[in-house]
Structure 1
Amino acid sequence: MAPGAVLVPDWLDADGQRDLVAACREWARNPAGMRTVRTPGGGTMTAKQVCLGWHWRPYAYSKTTDDGAPVKPFPPELGDLARGALAAAYGEAPPAVYDMALVNFYDADAHMGMHQDREERSDAPVVSVSLGDTCVFRFGNTETRSRPYTDLELRSGDLFVFGGPSRLAFHGVPRILPGTAPAGLGLTGRLNLTLRASGLG
């Protein structure tokens, strides 16, 4: 894709996808469960989100959710998943401590505008795992939300990692392709797990 940006198709097998969907359903339960994200300007994001390890609010991190509940802990198995993902993408796992995840759920009408993942104090690569419906993923440049960018489809089980020169590339999800999830997954819509090293200690 670009220096430091790697797509690994079909990285997660069917059993691994089902296990991860089941885990996401547990993480989505209250307290500190799935929420609608509100922006400082008063708008709302169409993708819903639950945070693990650190709670993201535009545009900062905290240890408590919007209603004051403690954020759910970052599961150790997601740290293992991140290390395996980095090894698959780069051949080795950089020595970073992955300590947070954003789990985004997209229904058929959801999307996400072009943005950078820049609230972290670590420059470790971002690890993204897709589950359920295929999405159109737009991966751009580090300078602007506009062109040049590349559109590709991310399918259930695909891994996308971006670090190094591409760590601060703008990226987004212009649309979801409804009805494209694997039949045995039991998921309508798309789940995306974004694993990050916060560097916040």
Structure 2
Amino acid sequence: MSGTLDLFADLPPPPPHAERLGPGTVLLHGYALERAPALIAAVERIIAASPWRQMITPGGQTMAVSMSNCGPLGWISDRRGYRYVPLDPLSGQPWPPLPPLLLRLADEAATAAGFPGFVPDACLINRYAPGTRLSLHQDRDEEDFSQPIVSLSLGLPAVFLLGGASRNDKTVKIPLLHGDVLVWGGPDRLRFHGVQPVKDGNHALTGPCRLNLTLRRARR
């Protein structure tokens, strides 16, 4: 344990409500808890305009997680590959705008984690039903890896898997609860990560599901 602590000895301490999990990774426990009802209401408005969908991988597999987007750009997957686009393929219309509350939260959380000045232009919204998982992967469809990723958890709890630079590296299991915000960037920006299968349950605000909002800067 002492060797692990030494790795972070020269880094500024995280805020009192936060836990440093790596050189560029900070878990902000319950950071969005008070704003959760308003955030969920915002998600409901987004989904009314751009409904949930299960996208297809380039290899032709249907993704288990239901997804949508908001912001100037939205992440999609189909036979042509993974990419960011300005229009919702289902409607041909722009994705719903990023709610001001979500923009403010992303900036505040990134700043608290040591990444000031973060202005996302894309927010991928994932809906995890019980039993749904997300396999290990890197977020590398963005143009600028100097920007962090801000990930907000709402609803049912989940176990986040944080790996290393290789898919085969050992993973650390990080419990994520309703209202938690996880930020990773800098030397940790391209770490592999995933989500274990979400356990059965029913949350008072989201019902039988977990919502995950992942904010990124996709374009320079």
Residue 19 (structure 1) aligned with residue 43 (structure 2): no
Asked if 2 retains the 8 angstrom alpha-carbon contact of 1:124 and 1:163, the reply is: yes
- Tell me which of the two structures has the higher relative contact order, counting C-alpha pairs closer than 8 angstroms and 6 or more residues apart: 1
Aligned-pair CA distance for 1:61? 0.8
One-letter amino acid of the counterpart of residue 64, structure 2 = T
Larger Rg: 2
1:161 match: secondary structure: strand
Gaps of 5+ in 1: none
Q: Deviations over 1:20-58 (max 9, x none)?
A: 11111111124x322111111110111111111212123
Asked if 2 retains the 8 angstrom alpha-carbon contact of 1:36 and 1:49, the reply is: yes
Residue matched to 1:191 = 211
Residue matched to 2:126 = 104
Query: Which one of the candidate residues 88, 105, 112 is aligned to 2:112?
Result: 88
After superposing on structure 2, the runs of 4+ consecutive aligned residues of structure 1 that deviate more than 4 Å are: none
Residue 72 (structure 1) aligned with residue 93 (structure 2): no
CA distance in 1, matches of 2:215, 2:178: 16
TM-score (norm 2): 0.82
Gaps of 5+ in 2: 1-20
TM-score (norm 1): 0.89
One-letter amino acid of the counterpart of residue 174, structure 2 = L
CA distance in 1, matches of 2:148, 2:85: 21
Residue matched to 2:64 = 46
| Number of positions where the alignment pairs a residue of Structure 1 with one of Structure 2 | 193
Query: Which one of the candidate residues 71, 85, 96 is aligned to 1:62?
Result: 85
Query: What percent identity do the matched residue pairs reach?
Result: 38
Asked if 1 retains the 8 angstrom alpha-carbon contact of 2:65 and 2:127, the reply is: yes
Asked if 2 retains the 8 angstrom alpha-carbon contact of 1:137 and 1:174, the reply is: yes
CA distance in 2, matches of 1:88, 1:148: 27
